[in-house]
Amino acid sequence: MAERPEDLNLPNAVITRIIKEALPDGVNISKEARSAISRAASVFVLYATSCANNFAMKGKRKTLNAGDVLSAMEEMEFQRFVAPLKESLEVYRREQKGKKEARKDKDKKADSEEQDKSREEENDDDDERMEEEEQNEEEEVSSGRWWS
């Protein structure tokens, strides 16, 4: 959960790198411009979340899913993001599937859920919950209503 206002900031180094990669070489980005873009990015996340949540609510769902986020992009007039997003989602799903299989093997050996702690950045409390949800989902959810 967000406890301090800084928790809603995105890491400056990463934001700066993304900006630099997007602009032609040698463009100077003022410090103020960087922090402004960073703030804008946080607001974008909130705006997208709220739009996506509206779609989930319309569908009487409690969990935001990929379709909700993509619909949100269209609603926000960022249609141009939809195709590249779909593309990377494909790659991401494949990657996750691979990881999950590797994990299952590992879990069998360790046979303890506590192992989660050591897994990359996914280590706060509700991550575990989320991963479980996600696993349930894998088979049925693409149709969008596993909970009902």
Partner 1 sequence: MAARLSGGENRLVSLPLSRIRVIMKSSPEVSSINQDALFLTAKATELFVQYLATYSYKHGRGKEKSALTYSDLSHTAEECETFQFLADILPKKILASKYLKMLEKEKRDGEVGEDEDNDEEDNEDESVEEDIGS
Residues 64-123 that bind partner 1 (CB under 8 A): 64-66, 68-70, 73, 76-78, 80-81, 83-85, 87-89, 91-93, 95-96, 121-123
Taking the C-alpha atoms of residue 127 and residue 102, their distance in angstroms, rounded to an integer, is 18
Query: Least separation, in Å, of the C-beta of 14 and partner 1?
Result: 5
Alpha carbon distances (Å) from 12 to 5, 36, 41, 93, 137: 15, 11, 11, 27, 34
Query: Least separation, in Å, of the C-beta of 48 and partner 1?
Result: 6
- How many amino acids of this chain bind partner 1 (CB under 8 A)? 76
Show Cβ contacts of residue 90 under 8 Å, excluding neighbours closer than 6 positions. Answer: none
Task: Using the minimum distance from each CB to partner 1, give the nearer residue, 115 or 136.
Answer: 136
Task: Give the one residue of 75, 107, 128, 133 binding partner 1; rule: CB under 8 A.
Answer: 133
Task: Using the minimum distance from each CB to partner 1, give the nearer residue, 80 or 108.
Answer: 80
Q: Within 13 Å, how many C-alpha atoms sit on residue 133's CB side?
A: 12
